[in-house]
Amino acid sequence: MTTEPRASSKAQVHRGAVDPVEALAQTIDRLYREHHATVYRLALRYGSGNEAWAEDVVQDVFLTLLDALPSLHDVDHLGGWLYRVTTNRCLRKLRRDRFLDHPVVHACLGPFRDRAVDPPEAQVFARRDLERTRSVLALLPPKECIVVCMHLLDGKSQVEIGQILGFSKSYACKLLARGMARLQRELR
């Protein structure tokens, strides 16, 4: 993958002076360098610090971006699009993990599936209070965890949360209230 300066690759793409495949590779490279930190941070947050989990999400998100790139109109302002895709991808992955961790499913799939063990970096925080916050957040149901984080950390309104996750405003409000109550109770 090329490491040419951003301005150069962008100009080449717009002029169509290079091979389309090469131009696509350059565009995705530039977008990756611009946004991978944000995506990775979101994934780490919802993955409770699990780096492998977060890497999976980052890879999924950028592969999705690669497929969707021809249909995206404004390639230079993909922050909102990546935020929505990353959040939804995390929610889907969390729900899948939660389903697989259900005792019944785990009992059925036990012989065929290795139970994911939290890696050391997810378990160790030097500060006990951060570790406690992480573990409480991990205990929240996926929807509530994501809605609470979107609202408290990213400052999203209930309407925006509903639009990003495909929920109604009232459902987003209900999830938010429930999640916050649970968070307060656990952290107290």
Q: How far is the CB of 142 from another protein (least distance, A)?
A: 16
Q: Which is nearer to another protein, 59 or 168 (CB)?
A: 59
Q: Are 82 and 38 in contact (CB under 8 A)?
A: yes
**Touching another protein, residues 62-101 (CB under 8 A):** 62-63, 66-67
Distance CA 11, CA 25 (A): 14
Nearest Cα residue to 46 out of 85, 87, 99, 80: 87
150 is written with which tokens? 């979107």
Name residue, tokens 């965890």: 145
Q: Report how far Cα 72 is from the mean position of its chain's Cα atoms.
A: 20
Distance CA 143, CA 80 (A): 19
**Per-residue contact flags (x/-) with another protein for residues 104 to 143, judged by CB under 8 A:** -----------------x---x---xx--xx--x------
Task: Note the residues at the interface with another protein (CB under 8 A).
Answer: 1, 20-21, 24-25, 28-29, 32, 36-37, 40-41, 44-45, 49, 51, 55, 58-59, 62-63, 66-67, 121, 125, 129-130, 133-134, 137, 149, 151-153, 158, 173-174, 176-177, 180-181, 183-184, 187
